[in-house]
Amino acid sequence: MPDGKKKKMDKIVSLCKRRGFIFQSSEIYGGIGGFWDYGPLGVELKRNIKDVWWRDMVTGHDDTSTPVGAATPYEMVGIDASIVMHPQVWKASGHYDLFHDMLVDCRTCKARFRADQIPTSPCSRKPSKHPGEHTDCDLTEPREFNLMFKTFIGALIDPTAEAYLRPETAQGIFVNFKNVLSTARVKLPFGIAQIGKAFRNEITPRNYTFRSREFEQMEIEFFCSPDSSQGWYDYWCARRFTWYTSLGLKSERLRLRDHAASERAHYSCGTADIEYAFPFLAEGEFGELEGVSHRGDFDLRSHMEGKLVRDGDILKVELDEHGRASHAGSGKDLSYFDDATQTKFIPHVIEPSAGVDRAMLAFLCEAYTEDAIPDDKGVPQERVVLKLHPRIAPVKVAVFPLIKKDGMPEIAGEIYRELKLKWNVSYDQKGSIGRRYRRQDESGTPFCITVDHQTLIDGTVTLRDRNTTVQERVNSANLVSLIEERL
């Protein structure tokens, strides 16, 4: 990683610790690799990202509108499935057999690397940069390693009690397809959304929260007829890309990359990744924020018939040596009857699958800004400011009394309580006013309100904008509507 980029990443990590966005998990015991805790500001930011996603994709979605490039209006509903599911789910879906990484161990330094990441993984033996480059490096052949966390259900610790923590939230949606269809009165095309934890025993968790072992996903399974699926795939690629730009990611650091056919899973008819140029990556490299995949009827069919494999152009049930399905499906009918055409078919699926933690990291990296602003005497002072989009900013407004007397704390307290009915608002009366502004700038708070001597005379307060630092005098009676307008 170039020095400048490393420095920027180090500064972001240190700000996240200092301001209480992200802590190492179990830090007082020395930490645990691949697990992270979100502090008071981090939990707000993360919650806002999830809420905004849910609002934009599910509850706020207008199902009477006809999206560009697609012929029919559609509905969106949500579910919240359990983390531990029937082990057969993972066998039919293919995860049990296929969710592997190829690993390479170094017999000299005992480090373990993903075979596909050897060219970018750091090697601990100087001056070698990557594993295998030093004469001491003694790498094994690539070996398979299952990424699913295993657990046991009930008191017995034997193979009949084995279960897995879900490595993705998607399967919880597929196995509930029929339940949703028969209870929510939805008709094709429609989407089911879910936000929840997923677990992967990543070999080399790294790049801060980018590759964790426990993380959250925001996934949509969008069900449609086979003949409309390509149009919906294009629609979702565009819709999800714009979601990130609408929340402040600059399009020059974001890209939608189509997978080459050789890179796609065997069942996929099309996959594109939405990628961001994270500062921890080398120049020109991008990291995946979200995958949008056209999965055909693979998932519903797998849960009907059993684990599918590709044979030339067709997907067929994998058979064992006795000619039975190697991993049986549920045997339930997950097809759809279309009233309009009087036809029965297995719906096709478009899956936009996003990571909450990666989105949060991208928003933090994009928002991190260093600039200089003049102090009271006009001397430029360096500051760090998180220019987070107001919709996701952890705290929307901070309220300060200029000094702790003359009735200012009482008036500021009243304003604080009034605004708190609507937003997450912070009250601060400690330290110089400049220092209080700095604290809020580093937390990404879009607006600061200060009650001062003038307030006592005419009821006006100053309203300071985080990005421009411009302060204007406004009537304290109009604060709610004014801030509402600007947020």
Instruction: List interacting residues with ligand ATP (CB under 6 A).
Output: 168, 200, 202, 211-212, 215, 217, 288-291, 353-355, 357-358
Alpha helices in 162-250 (DSSP H): 170-174, 177-183, 229-246
Phi, psi of 22 (to 5 degrees): -135, 130
Least separation in angstroms between residue 259's CB and ligand ATP is 10
Least separation in angstroms between residue 293's CB and ligand ATP is 7
Complex with ligand ATP: residue 351 or 442, whichever CB lies closer: 351
Paired with 282 in beta bridges are: none
CB 82 within 8 A of CB 124: no
- Provide the phi-psi class of 430: left if phi over 0, else alpha when psi is between -120 and 50, else beta: beta
Least separation in angstroms between residue 79's CB and ligand ATP is 18
Least separation in angstroms between residue 301's CB and ligand ATP is 20
- Chain centroid to CA 61: how far? 19
Least separation in angstroms between residue 287's CB and ligand ATP is 7
Least separation in angstroms between residue 222's CB and ligand ATP is 15
Least separation in angstroms between residue 170's CB and ligand ATP is 9
Complex with ligand ATP: residue 305 or 357, whichever CB lies closer: 357
* Type of residue at 228: S
Complex with ligand ATP: residue 153 or 261, whichever CB lies closer: 261
User: Which DSSP string corresponds to 53-81?
Assistant: HHIIIIIT--TTS--TT-SS--EEEE---
* CA gap 236, 256 in Å, rounded: 12
Complex with ligand ATP: residue 317 or 359, whichever CB lies closer: 359
Structure tokens at 321: 């040596």
* CA gap 293, 221 in Å, rounded: 10
* Type of residue at 152: F
Least separation in angstroms between residue 264's CB and ligand ATP is 11
Complex with ligand ATP: residue 49 or 402, whichever CB lies closer: 49
DSSP 111: -
* CA gap 395, 387 in Å, rounded: 12
Complex with ligand ATP: residue 247 or 289, whichever CB lies closer: 289
Burial of 4 (C-beta count, 10 Å sphere; 0-12/13-18/19+): exposed
CB 38 within 8 A of CB 21: yes
DSSP 347: P
- Scored b (16 or more CB within 10 A) or e, 324-355 reads ebbbebbeeebbbeeeeeeeeebbbbbbbbbb
The residue of the chain with the least Cβ separation from ligand ATP equals 355
* CA gap 167, 243 in Å, rounded: 25
* CA gap 357, 215 in Å, rounded: 6
CB 164 within 8 A of CB 172: no
CB 357 within 8 A of CB 271: no
Least separation in angstroms between residue 463's CB and ligand ATP is 37
* CA gap 325, 319 in Å, rounded: 4
Least separation in angstroms between residue 57's CB and ligand ATP is 15
User: Which DSSP string corresponds to 355-370?
Assistant: EHHHHHHHHHHHHEEE
Complex with ligand ATP: residue 131 or 291, whichever CB lies closer: 291
Cα-Cα-Cα-Cα torsion 113, 114, 117, 118, nearest 10 degrees, comes to 40
Complex with ligand ATP: residue 130 or 264, whichever CB lies closer: 264
Element (H, E) at 338: strand 336-338
Complex with ligand ATP: residue 217 or 225, whichever CB lies closer: 217
Least separation in angstroms between residue 101's CB and ligand ATP is 9
